[in-house]
Structure 1
């Protein structure tokens, strides 16, 4: 894992068993409080992964899915305490997180902005952005505008199984991001209409040259991919990398695994260290 830490992977998903235990800790409203034992465990896990690599903390981003039971403000504070450089946030309510709708402004957003500024953190990606058969375009516009304001990108999941309609929705979402100045990223997800990184690349290349894709190690493995498949992707298109580990054999419920049962990098059987043997992968991870 020392090599992985030195590469500068952009996002870490701490959503394994260790952090499920944190969710059951005695924290008020199940939140992780900076300075608490739970926050200390985050720091310990972060140290384990980075192996004290001197520059790693300047490149890593803590994903909200890692601590889905906390609101955006608590996640930002925890990320700062653990030494991360960025955070990826749920910017509007989702069923698995108590985070408020910060896209509408108000005190919650102002607090997040102040803590981001004071701690020197940046936004990685804003979520959710689900393009199903009936997208809520007004809500998506607000999320894109907030991502732009906080210097981040919008992570797009294509959930519409009607190819023509999905293509049009992707075009519209990318244009929305362009208009407000937010980056647009398409994530491959095996349970979506864009199941593999190659499918994501096909959509990305049909859109603007500045549209990127998100590679998630769990999704790559569960989608039947290999690290060599990712190495064949154009490095300039890789905008975000999400890293977690797990068993090679898929569970009965892959959706539950993706949300609640990811393992810390190095604690599973994905062979994440094999990423380092592909020079092209190293180019876009650094």
Structure 2
């Protein structure tokens, strides 16, 4: 729903029965549509008022892609906006192949986030400098900040080899929430194929071949589950209708997951 404004997302989440929504307020790459909440206190207050009226909270803001040239000392306005909007998490991705520099950058960013009571979930993505869960957890440990953890994206988890053994080793407090989507068992053969699948061709939860119940059962109990399933299949539907479909498919997955039976998905 990249064309949706923050207000549209809050409306869609409430319409579908989600507890949270997430908003993109910083562009990971040039050309992505954005709706300004940074540095606009009046617009922030309007959005907060709408969320409170709807009974929807903001889970996270996204997405900070850390590249070699990224100066994270300039991210103060993003962090200020995230804190002002009541979110706790700033989704972060490592795109710097210089591992030591990336660790230093994450440390700087984490210190700035900590000053505002914010937490940085590091998302591993198969076509980035942090391609799998083992590498993400190693980076987090090297950063050495209590407010840095690992974000589990179900599609990326399975595409990176389904490292359940590594997942079992990570302290629960370092996995603040997870993103759920489905896909075919067979991964795309190329980097470009993986990128296209992740951005526009995911399958709705429970309608693919990934073992989502096993993954959800392995996650910490009671963390928010964010439905992260960008797909052309829903592109032409109104935002509220698309959110309702995602909520319904996710609810069916949870019903098949023993440790979460009877719970509801949290984030649209």
TM interval, shorter chain, is 0.7 to 0.9
Matched residue, 1:6 = none
Is residue 2:108 matched to residue 1:172? yes
Query: Per-residue displacement from partner, 1:105-126 (whole Å, max 9, x unpaired)?
Result: 1554333222112112221111
1:127 alignment partner, one of 50, 62, 75: 62
Which residue, out of 187, 194, 201, partners 1:261? 201
Matches within 5 A, 1:61-76: 67-76=1-10
In structure 2, relative to structure 1, the CA distance for the partners of 1:224 and 1:136 (3 Å cut) is same
Aligned to 1:91: 25
d(CA) in 2 for partners of 1:117, 1:184? 24
Partner SS for 1:128: strand
Over 3 Å counting, the alpha-carbon distance change for 1:129 and 1:283 in structure 2 is same
Pairing 1:150–2:85 present: yes
Q: State the match for 1:188 in structure 2.
A: 124
Shift of 1:217: 0.6
Relative to 1, partners in 2 of residues 1:174 and 1:233: Cα closer, same or farther, differing over 3 Å?
same
1:212 aligns with 2:121: no
Q: Which residue of 1 aligns with 2:255?
A: none
Q: Which residue is 2:76 aligned to? A: 141
Question: Within 5 A, what are the aligned runs for 1:1-286?
Answer: 67-93=1-27, 97-105=32-40, 107-137=42-72, 140-152=75-87, 153-206=89-142, 207-251=144-188, 252=190, 253-275=193-215, 278=218, 281=219, 283=221, 285=223
Shift in Å at residue 73 of structure 1?
Answer: 1.6
Distance 1:113 1:182 in 2: 18
* Local SS of the residue matching 2:93: strand
The alpha-carbon distance between structure 1 residues 276 and 70, as it changes in their structure 2 partners (threshold 3 A), is: closer
Q: Is the 1:86–1:121 Cα contact (8 Å) retained in structure 2?
A: yes
Counterpart Cα distance in 2 of 1:146 and 1:258: 27
Distance in 2, matches of 1:114 and 1:284, equals 26
Distance 1:171 1:192, change over 3 A: same
Give SS of 2:129's match. Answer: coil
Matched residue count: 218
Alignment root-mean-square deviation, CA: 2.2
SS at match of 1:98: coil
Cα distance in 1, alignment partners of residues 102 and 5 from structure 2: 31
Higher helix share: 1
Residues 158-167 or 93-102, more deviating: 93-102
